[in-house]
Amino acid sequence: MKTYKFKLYKTKRQKHLHRRVRIAGEVYNHLIAFHKRYYSMFGKYPGKYKVQNQLPKLKKRYPHWKQVGSQALQAIVYRIDFGYQKFFRKENKRPPSFRNLRKFKSFTLTQAGWELNEDNSVNIGGIQYKFWKSQKILGKPKCMHVKRDALGDFYICIVTDIEEYKPDYAASSETVGMDFGLKTYFSLSDGKEIEAPEFFKQGSKELAKCQRILARKVKDSKSRKQAVKATARVHKKIAARRKDWQEKEARKLARKYGAIFVEDLSIGGMKALWGRKVSDLAFYQQVQILERQCSKAGTIFGKVDRWLPSTRMCSSCGQLHDMPLDKRTMQCDCGLVLDRDANAAINIKNAGMSALGPGAVRRETSARAA
């Protein structure tokens, strides 16, 4: 499955999409209330099929719900059920709850209610919208997500089913382990270090100025809405700069190495300890982008267990040491003296290769090496 994201042209027709998103948020909150009421009466979770059976009755009671489409309503049911299932598995601390209609962002269309045209346009609910077709859409379209950002711009995310060719081996024989850090963005097992420009820190002055202006505005006033958009525009620019840098770095690494191994980080725990710094570095997004770029380049990508003592373990003899954050050098009795991040990267590489097995990354032929 592959997802393509395109931005819609901003026209007056988008008022229909704003209305649909608002109705989708209304449906979401109504179904959340149904779940809570059902649990208070019967003491159990109703399940998605019981909620689906209520949709025909609800559409008769609220005729404007039909503007969203029946499949979009079912997608909201599945979205709420997915949130509850994550709560039951203790992946989320809280079950799904009510949302502000102004902040509700999207709705999903699966088979009906939309049609992709041959040119750069799409029909949504019988209305044609044009979009910036930045790349060719490959595969058979399966579903489409209509999303709205904080600035009021709309994007369509088209999910396609495509058979991609994946090479059995990588083009390079080099293998590398990566260790993410707060001072150095990531350290490679071959000794290289890459520093990350802290984009949120760079834009903090501009953002603080916008937030001061926003704080002085009267609630629900027109000028406050404009100040909210100005603040959202700065956040969007920061996020775009960060993602552009991450895409370029990930593409370089995927094309240079034949196998890349990273540590399965606990981002939630890191945010609890270091807060905004971790959000600015965006480790989770970097890993997702790197994995996607590796799949395109035919590079092997793997994650090692987060409980591996990569920082505390000597990469030469395997002895464990106490390594507080202020201790930046690994000094072992075997004679190893190495930077702690470089030592961790080597341990990550060794753990990844041992899990992968021998012969996974081919050696370059003499002709290619020449």
pLDDT of residue 166: 57
The predicted pLDDT at position 369 comes to 33
Residue 357: what pLDDT?
A: 60
**Residue 17 three-state SS:** helix
Angle between helices 283-297 and 222-256 (to 10 degrees): 40
Q: Strand 127-130 and strand 140-148: pairing?
A: unpaired
* Chain segment 261-317, per-residue pLDDT in tens: 988 877 777 767 777 778 888 888 889 999 888 888 888 888 888 788 888 888 888
Q: Could you read off the pLDDT of 43-75 as tens digits, one per residue?
A: 999 989 999 999 999 999 999 999 988 889 999
Q: What percent of the chain has pLDDT over 90?
A: 42
Q: What per-residue confidence (pLDDT) applies to 83?
A: 93
Phi-psi region of 45 (alpha: psi -120 to 50; beta: other; left: phi over 0): beta
Tens-place pLDDT, residues 321-367: 887 877 888 888 888 888 888 888 888 888 888 876 654 544 333 33
DSSP string covering 321-367: ----TT--EEE-TTS-EEEHHHHHHHHHHHHHHHHH-TTSSPPPPHH
The pLDDT score that the predictor gives to residue 171 is: 58
- The tokens describing 271, both together, are 């945010």
Separation CA 216–CA 227 (nearest Å) = 10
Q: Closest Cα to residue 254, out of 292, 208, 202?
A: 292
Would the pLDDT of 162 be above 60?
A: yes
State residue 192's pLDDT score: 87
Task: Taking residues 2-10, report their average pLDDT.
Answer: 90
Q: Kindly state the tokens that stand for 359.
A: 């012969």
Which pLDDT band, with edges at 50, 70 and 90, does 182 fall under?
confident
User: Which has more confidence, 188 or 362?
Assistant: 188
Tokens of 292: 């996607």
| Phi, psi dihedral angles at 108 (to 5 degrees) | -120, 135
> In terms of pTM, does the model score above 0.85?
no
- Give yes or no for residue 168 having a pLDDT over 80: no
Show the beta-strand stretches assigned E in the chain: 2-7, 106-109, 114-116, 121-124, 127-130, 140-148, 154-161, 175-180, 186-188, 193-194, 259-263, 300-304, 329-331, 337-339
Q: Which residue has the higher pLDDT, 344 or 37?
A: 37
Strands 175-180 and 186-188: antiparallel
> Tell me: the pLDDT tens digits for 104-140?
999 999 888 888 888 889 999 889 999 998 888 888 8
How far apart are the two ends of the chain, measured CA to CA in Å?
Answer: 38
Q: What is the pLDDT of residue 62?
A: 94
CA distance 220 to 227: 11
Q: Tokens 């909210």, residue?
A: 228
User: Is the backbone of residue 180 left (phi > 0), alpha (psi -120 to 50) or beta?
Assistant: beta
Length of the chain: 370
- What per-residue confidence (pLDDT) applies to 14? 92
What's the pLDDT tens digit per position in 228-265?
999 999 999 999 999 999 999 999 998 888 889 988 87
Query: What's the gap between Cα 2 and its chain centre?
Result: 14
Mean pLDDT of the 184-202 span: 86
At residue 310, the pLDDT reads 80
Q: How confident is the model at residue 42 (pLDDT cuts 50, 70, 90)?
A: very high
> Quick one: pLDDT at residue 167?
55
- Mean pLDDT of the region 139-156: 91
